[in-house]
Structure 1
Amino acid sequence: MRFLCFPLIVWCLIVSSSSFAQQEIRLTGIVYDFDSNEPLPGANVYWQSAPQKGVVTDLDGAFTITVPDLPAKLVVSFIGFTESIRQFNEKDIEKDVKFYLKAEDLSLEEIIIQERRPDQNVKSLDMGKSVVPIQTIKNIPALFGEVDLLRSLQLLPGVQTAGEGTTGLFVRGGSADQNLIQLDGAPIYNPSHFFGFFSVFNPDALEGVEFYKGNIPATLGGRLSSVIDVSLKEGNYQKVRGEGGIGTISSRLTVDGPLLNENSSFVISGRRTYADVFLRLSQDENINNNSLYFYDLSGKFTFKLGEKDKLSLSSYYGSDFLGLSEQFGFGWDNWVSSITWNRNINERTFFDLNAYHSYYRYNLSFNDEDNGFLWDNVLSETGLRAEWSFLPNDKTQFNWGVHTQYFHFAPISLEPSEGSAIEPINTNPRNGWQNNLFVSAAHDFTARLRIEAGLRWGIYNRVGKGVSYVYEGDIPEPQAPILDTLNFNAFENMKFYQGLEPRFSMRYLLKDDLSIKAAYNRTFQYIQVATNNSAGLPLDRWVPADAFIPPIRADQVSIGLFKNLDRDKWEISTELYYKDFKNLVDLRQGASVIFTDNIETELLTGNGYAYGAEFLLRRNVGKTTGWLSYTYSRTWRRIEGISDDRWYNPRFDRPHDLTLVLNHEFNKSWSAGMTFIYTTGQAVTFPIGSYEIDNQRLPLYGNQRNADRFPDYHRMDASVTWKGTDKGRKWRGSWNLSIYNLYGRKNPFAYQFSDIINDEINFDPSGGQEIVTRRPGVVMTYLFTFLPALTYNFEF
């Protein structure tokens, strides 16, 4: 630990000494949208005499820039808005300034697909990072016409999908639980609706999303593979406005405006599907008694407490339920809340404090006289995060802070119905307490070289209340006898882990429009999902690290070239990465983790690695915008006791992944979008034969895991949007027609290996029909072919 900390301390001293060598005068301010009075993130701010030394406003529209010799003219610009130029004298820089930019009537050549500096991909330290504007997400053709954040991220290089229609993400060889998905700083443990077909994020309520898959900064941690940082938008401080849509299976509405006065605002957003309404219209009692719905509600309240302080309260609640008649019920609920305090201590120092609570509950019920039961489980995380930022000049930045987390995994409860033959099950709770310290520093050593170094230290305790089992030979196996049971009181330490996570990145400008970047990240993850499925199901069992389940660790090295063409209208980049995994878990053959309290007996631990090459070509400006991406990647694991102890591929290993996204503006009223996806089929295990039990033939599986593959997956989606004229109108509407799977490709979702009787796939033996023929067969299930959807969107 001393060895790793010492270089970082020396690094900080070197940077700080160069930073304070000269005392610079700095100007701070905020850039607003004139019409909505909302901050404008990504606006360019620079002195007219030195445009190459400009800065970009942050998510709050704020900026800090070094002042040259006065008088001087400051230029503030943002694509789609009228440029503002203001002259400053010495008396004008004593306090914060505000700029209000007016929207201009865009020509077709000024359409953009991202809110950032045109040359940011070349000149910033960002590597393996994507900032996806919400408007871009809304322009992508969608399943059932439902615009979806997570499904849009699947179109980026280095991101694999779980399968047809699902929102699960597999980033650079990592499983779905290795992604930290957070909303205003609060983690979301199940970010899906409708069994993974839609994500929990209503795009109308979002400000933006930052997606890290490579160079994860030291300020973020807790997961191995990626961070998806989603923020709810602030309300309008001047007037009430709204937007929403009426779609094929759901409708949504978002309203925002001033709350108490011009220094406070609110946003309220709701969405609900009405599939259950259509079910009730059926004349068939077996259908109209079913329930199938999801809904969510989110809100954010923001208060400006003066020129330097801002307080935000945000909350999200979502619920899903599937009920078949009155016999079967399956549902889950997400509820996350956070409070954030932002303070500008002075023109160089900033402080952010975030407190949050995330709650996830899921249950399963079965009403039957003989085997009825109710299965229920809850998990939650409560956290507090404080971060300080110090910018001594426009070349240097320091960040440091602390993050504490408390995990609570409630006991699993299986309560039999009255008269049921099922035995009740109650497991023990599992709790974890994690504290993190982090520090980082970034500095421009020359005009071409910028380096950032950071260190994150995670301190984890598995704590009571809980129990720990003592096994014979200290080896937890399914048949191993339990020698003793150790009981621990609340917050009593049960197991301790700690890990240092160094982070390093650099950018070197070969030319003004060409740079090379490199990064190294080490990350630890102290909680994970015990599963071998690839879809990220609502019933997945989360488990914290303990005496038998060590934390997983990943080391990633990446290098890339970034180039801009035709005055920043085009971006082209190539990234190579290698990732090494330690202490990965997978399930034993035939394992069951839903009802057991001895979950460690069902798991095996081993190592893995992943590598890949990512290519991206993107056009940002013009009538036609979009991107083309290609990824070649491989993922391998080796765990003793699985696949004859040989290297094998997890299900989400897909070597080839090609994506094309296009959007075209014909005129102010008509636009169109198209996406095309091609990937290698997912790795699976097919049976090597069959055997008979009680006159029923069952598939026989070999020892090799995931040695086979589904056929390659490909699909094209398209959409057309018509917008009504909005000049002088308070109500503005648009229609969107989207087609999912334009050419009707039957992509396999699952295969079933069973007997085909009398050449009928769904033969009913209870019908009394004579069995003439019986042969082994393979039945492919696919979900969607040609699927149109119509959505009406509106603003007021």
Structure 2
Amino acid sequence: MFNYRAKYIWHFFLFTFIGLFSLSVNLMGQQVASLQGQVLDKLSGEPLPGATIFWKDQSARGAVTDAEGNFTIAIPTLPASLEIRFLGYQGISREINNKTTDLKFFLSPDEMALEEVVVSERREDHNVLSTEIGRNEISGETLKRIPALFGEVDLLRGIQLLPGVNTAGEGTTGLFVRGGSADQNLIQIDGAPIYNPSHFFGFFSVFNPDALTDVALYKGNIPAQFGGRVSSLIDISLKEGNTRKIEGEGGIGSISSRLTVDGPLFSDNSSFVLSGRRTYADLFLAFSPNEDIRNNQLYFYDLSGKLMWRQGEQNKFTFSTYYGSDFLGLSGQFGLGWKNWINSFNWNRQVSERLYLDMAAYYSYYQYLIGFNDEENGFDWSNDFSESGIRAALTFIPKEASEIKAGMHTQLYHFSPVDLDPAEGSSIAPLATNPRIGWQNNFFIALKEEVSERLSLEAGLRFALYQQIGNGVNYLYEDNDPEGSGMVTDTLEYRFGEKMQHYQGLEPRIAVRYLVGKATAIKGSYNRNYQYIQVASNSSAGLPIDRWVPAGRYIRPIRADQVSAGIFQNLSDNRWELSLEGYYRDFRNIIDLKQGANVLFSDNVETEILTGNGWSYGLEFLLRKNVGKTTGWLSYTRSRVFRKISGINRGNPYPPRFDRPNDVSLVLSHELTDRISLSGTFIYTTGVAVTFPVGSYVVDNQRVPLYNEQRNKDRFPDYHRLDLSLTLKNKDKGRWWQGSWNFSVYNAYARKNPFSYEFRDIYNNDIAFDRGLGEEVSSIRPGVVMTYLFGILPSVTYNFKF
């Protein structure tokens, strides 16, 4: 059966490829002579993505530079005048007399420009003209203007302010995009995935804003070259260094400091970027009069670097690396640490004036370790997993406004055994689970075509072949049902590389844009995505010890189908962006844990989970202002999320914890003067879905809450918060050092947003009463104790550039 299906799908994929290739050949036969070039910043030598190029008196038919500043434009009758424009830079005109290629154009920043120059990979009217739907961007400069928790600028917290993105609760950086869980987001740095993108148990993300360029969130039409997650793609690029001079920037904040330095490496064809950040909360602990507190440890740090070099005009190579580490130690008795290590190598080659090759290799590693120092119950518990991959893509541009991309992506997942090693004399038994290995091969092809002046089309097809391979074991269960009694009847062992289970999936994707007017577009898209690894966890916030499991004999891959449509309009000569998007997403093979499940130490994870389906739908509104003294956006999302899994909630639909029907975000930044700017954010969301007890009972003189079978039928109170910040730049006295002060207030009106509720007995009407102190108990009553994390939190950060 599998061979027949595989043969059928391969034929379908082959015929599709042949059809698109035939179309490319036909289009290639229609091509005309073209001019190639690159647009660069005159001062730094960095490419300017999104610059506009057109022939004089023919501005309607032009080109836009890509991420490397490159462009290709059809040549009219020569001689002709070529115009190059970019926001915040002085435009230039160049007389072209022959069909010369590989020209470089250097633009100078406009000294008279009132707005801050922000290099972005998009043109002003990109919101309307592109086929992209469900895509949002945040630049590094925008992130730095958003008020921050403890003064720590955070990428993921900035993304939470975009429409369609929810959180699990106060202070966390976990993202829940259009009804998907946190593990359903592909977060990648220079093409390499990162599995735990947070520091401090989710309070901060691992990304240093000084080391980043623009960040793109895809939650609608995900390009065919990306896959492996069903909810969203967050594509992050580390910035390339200045090829002309050494420069740097950094900051000294309330709990951490950071520094980034970049510049030319050997010549103006190569550059480097080095970036580091570390907290120093643990340094202050040493001054505590309490010896137990002095012996505690609490810190995180991260280091990143990027090397770039060009070989001639056709080849560009980059190597990126990131290392981050967290550690929490309590009085030498308990320790918890985790770390990420990511490496990626990218090669971009211009094969010809219309053919481009992109190749990448990466390695992503994650590890955590827990130690408990106790004579009777001491242990060391560790686990790690990794993903290695190679991606190759060919991009062919047969004519202006057309593009064909095809390639492949190979991935190897390795989940090491969970290792529980008891200390000498400990009563805890040792435990080691079996490793799990997944091997996935993906093939993709995509076409972009401007069918007419009003109609544009983007279509893609991705095909994945996934196998769980040895070494490893498959357990056989009574009645072949691990969700039943869970009784193991036999064990199948597999040698290294031997096939244990296979799956395959075809992922069609299509997006259409139709221009109603010059500044108005209607867009629609359909996407299918498969996900072959997922997290089995009873925490929605995302913890360092979450258990990742690959698809196998009993756990099928997740499948998600999404339909979305929207209207997009730019106002006031592209100063304002307005969009309204609606979506419906259908999930298959979603997993959730049984009541009281324990998956951390189990080698039989499939006996602790239940499988079912889900769906989500919503409407997203976004009004955004990108230029002027006042910038920012207003977003509102109305959405619902449901799961339906047999064995949970009596088999009836239920909302997951991150279902928040109403979500409002307002982000504003205003420049009062050249030196003073104000920023503020206001957030309002429906409270998270939870299950409150319906009663209680007493066991061994302790009151225990009683829950019914209904899941998440209750809610926390609505969440809302106002954050404010003021930035004061030092006077510019022509020095090589430029500094500024940022003063932030998190939760400005001291809203007590609940983090948790505890249902327990209250003694003597005092929630802090401790029976262990031996004081007389005069009264006992059942009560509810609310915990909130933050009141008003002021912070100050000194930022600098040189």
Aligned to 1:518, which of 521, 524, 534?
Answer: 524
The amino acid across from 1:645 in the alignment is: G
Aligned to 2:473, which of 451, 459, 467?
Answer: 467
In the alignment, the residues of structure 2 paired with residue 27 and residue 161 of structure 1 have an alpha-carbon distance, to the nearest angstrom, of: 48
Q: How does 1:294-313 map to 2 (within 5 A)?
A: 294-313=300-319
Kept in 2, the 8 Å contact 1:111–1:623? The answer is: no
Which residue of structure 2 lines up, in the alignment, with residue 592 of structure 1? 598
Which residue of structure 2 lines up, in the alignment, with residue 658 of structure 1? 664
Which residue of structure 1 lines up, in the alignment, with residue 169 of structure 2? 163
Per the TM alignment, residue 134 of structure 1 is displaced from its structure 2 partner at its CA by 1.1
Aligned to 2:728, which of 718, 722, 743?
Answer: 722
Larger mean Cα displacement after TM superposition, 145-154 or 3-12: 3-12
Deviation above 4 Å: which 4+ runs of structure 1?
A: 109-115
In the alignment, the residues of structure 2 paired with residue 26 and residue 750 of structure 1 have an alpha-carbon distance, to the nearest angstrom, of: 63
The amino acid across from 2:637 in the alignment is: T
Per the TM alignment, residue 4 of structure 1 is displaced from its structure 2 partner at its CA by 5.2
Which residue of structure 1 lines up, in the alignment, with residue 460 of structure 2? 454
Per the TM alignment, residue 110 of structure 1 is displaced from its structure 2 partner at its CA by 7.1
Which residue of structure 2 lines up, in the alignment, with residue 769 of structure 1? 775
Kept in 2, the 8 Å contact 1:112–1:621? The answer is: no
Aligned to 2:787, which of 757, 781, 789?
Answer: 781
Q: How does 1:204-215 map to 2 (within 5 A)?
A: 204-215=210-221
Per the TM alignment, residue 17 of structure 1 is displaced from its structure 2 partner at its CA by 5.5
The 1:589–1:113 alpha-carbon spacing in structure 2 relative to 1, beyond 3 Å, is farther
Which residue of structure 1 lines up, in the alignment, with residue 425 of structure 2? 419
Instruction: Confirm or deny that 1:53 pairs with 2:42.
Output: no
Per the TM alignment, residue 331 of structure 1 is displaced from its structure 2 partner at its CA by 0.8
In the alignment, the residues of structure 1 paired with residue 155 and residue 581 of structure 2 have an alpha-carbon distance, to the nearest angstrom, of: 23
The 1:113–1:390 alpha-carbon spacing in structure 2 relative to 1, beyond 3 Å, is closer
Instruction: Confirm or deny that 1:744 pairs with 2:750.
Output: yes
The 1:558–1:113 alpha-carbon spacing in structure 2 relative to 1, beyond 3 Å, is farther
In the alignment, the residues of structure 1 paired with residue 101 and residue 762 of structure 2 have an alpha-carbon distance, to the nearest angstrom, of: 80
Cα distance per residue 1:368-425 (max 9 Å; x no partner) = 1111111100010000000110001112100000000000000000111111111111
Which residue of structure 2 lines up, in the alignment, with residue 30 of structure 1? 38
Q: Secondary structure at the match of 1:125?
A: coil
Aligned to 2:288, which of 263, 278, 282?
Answer: 282
Which residue of structure 1 lines up, in the alignment, with residue 698 of structure 2? 692
The amino acid across from 2:68 in the alignment is: D
Per the TM alignment, residue 478 of structure 1 is displaced from its structure 2 partner at its CA by 6.8
Aligned to 1:493, which of 485, 499, 513?
Answer: 499
In the alignment, the residues of structure 2 paired with residue 753 and residue 628 of structure 1 have an alpha-carbon distance, to the nearest angstrom, of: 38
Kept in 2, the 8 Å contact 1:399–1:441? The answer is: yes
Instruction: Confirm or deny that 1:640 pairs with 2:646.
Output: yes
Which residue of structure 2 lines up, in the alignment, with residue 341 of structure 1? 347
Which residue of structure 2 lines up, in the alignment, with residue 96 of structure 1? 102
Aligned to 1:197, which of 172, 181, 203?
Answer: 203
Kept in 2, the 8 Å contact 1:363–1:377? The answer is: yes
Instruction: Confirm or deny that 1:629 pairs with 2:610.
Output: no
Give me the TM-score of the superposition, normalised by structure 2: 0.97
In the alignment, the residues of structure 2 paired with residue 326 and residue 192 of structure 1 have an alpha-carbon distance, to the nearest angstrom, of: 24
Cα distance per residue 1:474-506 (max 9 Å; x no partner) = 001374321111110111000000000000011
In the alignment, the residues of structure 1 paired with residue 152 and residue 77 of structure 2 have an alpha-carbon distance, to the nearest angstrom, of: 53
Which residue of structure 2 lines up, in the alignment, with residue 398 of structure 1? 404
Q: How does 1:315-464 map to 2 (within 5 A)?
A: 315-464=321-470
The amino acid across from 2:97 in the alignment is: N
Which residue of structure 2 lines up, in the alignment, with residue 679 of structure 1? 685
The 1:693–1:255 alpha-carbon spacing in structure 2 relative to 1, beyond 3 Å, is same
Kept in 2, the 8 Å contact 1:113–1:621? The answer is: no
Q: Secondary structure at the match of 1:20?
A: helix
Give me the TM-score of the superposition, normalised by structure 1: 0.98
Per the TM alignment, residue 14 of structure 1 is displaced from its structure 2 partner at its CA by 6.8
Identity of aligned residues (%): 59
Per the TM alignment, residue 108 of structure 1 is displaced from its structure 2 partner at its CA by 3.6
The 1:339–1:2 alpha-carbon spacing in structure 2 relative to 1, beyond 3 Å, is closer
Give the paired residue count: 794
Kept in 2, the 8 Å contact 1:8–1:454? The answer is: no
In the alignment, the residues of structure 2 paired with residue 2 and residue 296 of structure 1 have an alpha-carbon distance, to the nearest angstrom, of: 44
Larger mean Cα displacement after TM superposition, 47-56 or 24-33: 47-56
Q: Secondary structure at the match of 2:127?
A: helix
Cα distance per residue 1:83-124 (max 9 Å; x no partner) = 11111112xx32201111111225446777965211110010
Which residue of structure 1 lines up, in the alignment, with residue 6 of structure 2? none
Which residue of structure 1 lines up, in the alignment, with residue 719 of structure 2? 713
Kept in 2, the 8 Å contact 1:112–1:620? The answer is: no
In the alignment, the residues of structure 2 paired with residue 611 and residue 11 of structure 1 have an alpha-carbon distance, to the nearest angstrom, of: 35
In the alignment, the residues of structure 1 paired with residue 334 and residue 149 of structure 2 have an alpha-carbon distance, to the nearest angstrom, of: 27
The amino acid across from 2:85 in the alignment is: S
Q: Which runs of 5+ in 2 are unaligned?
A: 1-8
Aligned to 2:84, which of 54, 61, 76?
Answer: 76
Cα distance per residue 1:295-350 (max 9 Å; x no partner) = 00000111111110011111000000001111111110000001111101111011
The amino acid across from 2:617 in the alignment is: Y
Per the TM alignment, residue 20 of structure 1 is displaced from its structure 2 partner at its CA by 2.8
Which residue of structure 2 lines up, in the alignment, with residue 175 of structure 1? 181
Cα distance per residue 1:521-540 (max 9 Å; x no partner) = 00000000002321011111
Instruction: Confirm or deny that 1:571 pairs with 2:571.
Output: no
Kept in 2, the 8 Å contact 1:478–1:602? The answer is: no
In the alignment, the residues of structure 2 paired with residue 97 and residue 727 of structure 1 have an alpha-carbon distance, to the nearest angstrom, of: 38
Q: Secondary structure at the match of 2:128?
A: helix
Which residue of structure 1 lines up, in the alignment, with residue 274 of structure 2? 268
Q: Secondary structure at the match of 1:173?
A: coil
Q: Secondary structure at the match of 1:393?
A: coil
In the alignment, the residues of structure 2 paired with residue 605 and residue 590 of structure 1 have an alpha-carbon distance, to the nearest angstrom, of: 16
Kept in 2, the 8 Å contact 1:457–1:501? The answer is: yes
Instruction: Confirm or deny that 1:293 pairs with 2:299.
Output: yes
Q: CA RMSD in A?
A: 1.4
Aligned to 2:191, which of 167, 185, 202?
Answer: 185
Kept in 2, the 8 Å contact 1:111–1:622? The answer is: no
Aligned to 1:507, which of 513, 531, 535?
Answer: 513
Aligned to 1:735, which of 733, 738, 741?
Answer: 741
In the alignment, the residues of structure 2 paired with residue 214 and residue 716 of structure 1 have an alpha-carbon distance, to the nearest angstrom, of: 29
Per the TM alignment, residue 5 of structure 1 is displaced from its structure 2 partner at its CA by 3.8
In the alignment, the residues of structure 1 paired with residue 418 and residue 216 of structure 2 have an alpha-carbon distance, to the nearest angstrom, of: 35
Which residue of structure 2 lines up, in the alignment, with residue 236 of structure 1? 242
Q: Secondary structure at the match of 1:473?
A: helix
Q: Secondary structure at the match of 1:648?
A: coil
In the alignment, the residues of structure 2 paired with residue 718 and residue 113 of structure 1 have an alpha-carbon distance, to the nearest angstrom, of: 26
Q: Secondary structure at the match of 1:122?
A: helix
In the alignment, the residues of structure 1 paired with residue 696 and residue 378 of structure 2 have an alpha-carbon distance, to the nearest angstrom, of: 33
In the alignment, the residues of structure 1 paired with residue 190 and residue 119 of structure 2 have an alpha-carbon distance, to the nearest angstrom, of: 23
Cα distance per residue 1:143-188 (max 9 Å; x no partner) = 1111111110000000001211111000000000000000011100
Kept in 1, the 8 Å contact 2:689–2:712? The answer is: yes
Per the TM alignment, residue 22 of structure 1 is displaced from its structure 2 partner at its CA by 2.0
Kept in 2, the 8 Å contact 1:755–1:776? The answer is: yes
